[in-house]
Amino acid sequence: KQEVTQIPAALSVPEGENLVLNCSFTDSAIYNLQWFRQDPGKGLTSLLLIQSSQREQTSGRLNASLDKSSGRSTLYIAASQPGDSATYLCAVVYGNNRLAFGKGNQVVVIP
């Protein structure tokens, strides 16, 4: 069974600092990895999708890397802003198109 871990569960950073969020998964046989953002009481917004053959993916201030062999992905958010405060979820697609989620990193950016 695929297990996805995100540590730490919660973190606070001052505005302007770069954010680094880590995700690890137990089974390296994945099709892709997706990072989501969830605001309190809201649904999930897809941020980045990395195919298993890719090493990284970038969108604006966001950059996600994937090291499939070691079962790790990292999401970098450059120059964090208070609007980046949210929970960030990592999910991997494996097996027959199943998606396994981590429990998320709850981020607070302090103005």
Partner 1 sequence: DAGVIQSPRHEVTEMGQEVTLRCKPISGHDYLFWYRQTMMRGLELLIYFNNNVPIDDSGMPEDRFSAKMPNASFSTLKIQPSEPRDSAVYFCASSFVQGEQFFGPGTRLTVL
Bridge partners of residue 109, in order along the sequence: 13
Query: Using the rule CB under 8 A, is 32 a contact of partner 1?
Result: yes
Residues 6+ apart with CB under 8 A from 1: 26
Which CB sits closer to partner 1, 19 or 47?
A: 47
Query: Using the rule CB under 8 A, is 11 a contact of partner 1?
Result: no
Q: What does the per-residue mask of binding to partner 1 show for 79-108, with x meaning CB under 8 A?
A: ----------x-x-x--xxxxxxxxx----
Report CA 32 to chain centroid distance, whole Å: 12
Residues 6+ apart with CB under 8 A from 90: 4, 6, 21, 23, 33, 34, 35, 36, 73, 75, 101, 102, 104
Among 11, 15, 27, 31, binds partner 1 (CB under 8 A): 31
Which CB sits closer to partner 1, 5 or 15?
A: 5
Query: Using the rule CB under 8 A, is 55 a contact of partner 1?
Result: no
Give the tokens for residue 77. Answer: 């958010």
Interface ranges with partner 1 (CB under 8 A): 31-32, 34, 36, 42-46, 49, 89, 91, 93, 96-104
